[in-house]
A and B are shown apart, each in its own frame.
Chain A
Amino acid sequence: GIQVEQSPPDLILQEGANSTLRCNFSDSVNNLQWFHQNPWGQLINLFYIPSGTKQNGRLSATTVATERYSLLYISSSQTTDSGVYFCAVEWSDMRFGAGTRLTVKP
């Protein structure tokens, strides 16, 4: 089956810092999405981004499908950005990477 690898596994930032999260996948995919899971377990869809670049406020994402990776950029991080960031790819069905656990300190 398809392999989905996220890096780094853990990230600690000071409030206001910028960060880049990476998702590598081992095969061509129809679909790639980024999610944020907050400390209460709620999973929020950030981007549906099988290719190209999208921006939403302080967040942006880029997927280079031909090179099988996607990047999530967080600028001017806030404590509310803390949680786990997952990428998920569709191969035969949606598969999640192991996630990046982000902690933003005030």
Chain B
Amino acid sequence: DTEVTQTPKHLVMGMTNKKSLKCEQHMGHRAMYWYKQKAKKPPELMFVYSYEKLSINESVPSRFSPECPNSSLLNLHLHALQPEDSALYLCASSQPGGGQQALHFGNGTRLTVT
């Protein structure tokens, strides 16, 4: 069983909808991440939170809005998405700092934008 839990597993949304992806970890980690993965491609980093503060934002469009309410929770708010945003969205956690320890991933949310 994974110790990083993502909900929902699948999400279908229209381009005018607002939805949120949720991630929770119970590993005591203080860094949390959002990655986006298109089919047959590697995961691409979107956002990094370290000690609940946004530390990396990889030039992601503003229609994706991250939120870290506390050290265990990470949300990704979605608004006015495009069909090309359809992908697997992966949450991960680790200990922060240079030479980060192992990344642990959730099972992902498979998003389809219609």
Residues of chain A at the chain B interface (Cβ within 8 Å): 30-31, 33, 35, 40-45, 48, 50, 86, 88, 90, 92-99
**Which 10 residue pairs are nearest across A and B when measured between Cβ atoms?**
A96-B42, A48-B102, A30-B99, A43-B105, A45-B102, A42-B107, A31-B99, A30-B98, A41-B108, A96-B43
> What A residues does B37 contact at CB under 8 A?
41
Q: How far is the CA of A48 from the CA of B88 in the complex (A)?
A: 23
B2 located at the interface, meaning its Cβ lies under 8 Å from any Cβ of chain A in the complex: yes
Main secondary structure of the interface of A (DSSP, over half): strand
B11 at the interface (CB under 8 A from A): no
The answer, among A31, A41, A95, A96, for a CB contact under 8 Å with B107, is A41
| Shortest Cβ distance from residue B92 to the other chain A in the assembled complex, whole angstroms | 8
Q: Which residues of B contact A99 (CB under 8 A)?
A: 42
Some 15 contacts from A to B, beta carbons below 8 A apart, are A31-B100, A42-B105, A42-B107, A43-B105, A48-B102, A50-B99, A86-B43, A88-B103, A93-B45, A93-B48, A94-B33, A94-B45, A94-B103, A96-B44, A99-B42
Residues of A within 8 A of B104 (CB): 45
Q: Which B1-53 residues have a C-beta within 8 angstroms of A?
A: 2, 33, 37, 41-45, 48
Number of A-B contacts (CB under 8 A): 55
Least CB distance, B74 to chain A, in whole angstroms: 16
Give the distance to chain B from A86, nearest Cβ to Cβ, in Å. 6
CB of A33 within 8 A of CB of B107, answer: no
Question: In this complex, what residue of B is CB-closest to A99?
Answer: B42
Q: Report B-chain residues with C-beta under 8 Å of the C-beta of A33.
A: 102-103
Residue of A at shortest CB range from B2? A42
* Contact status of A90 and B100, CB under 8 A, knowing A41-B108, A43-B90, A45-B105: yes
Residues of chain B within 8 A of A96, CB atoms compared: 42-44
Which residue of B has the minimal Cβ distance to A87? B42
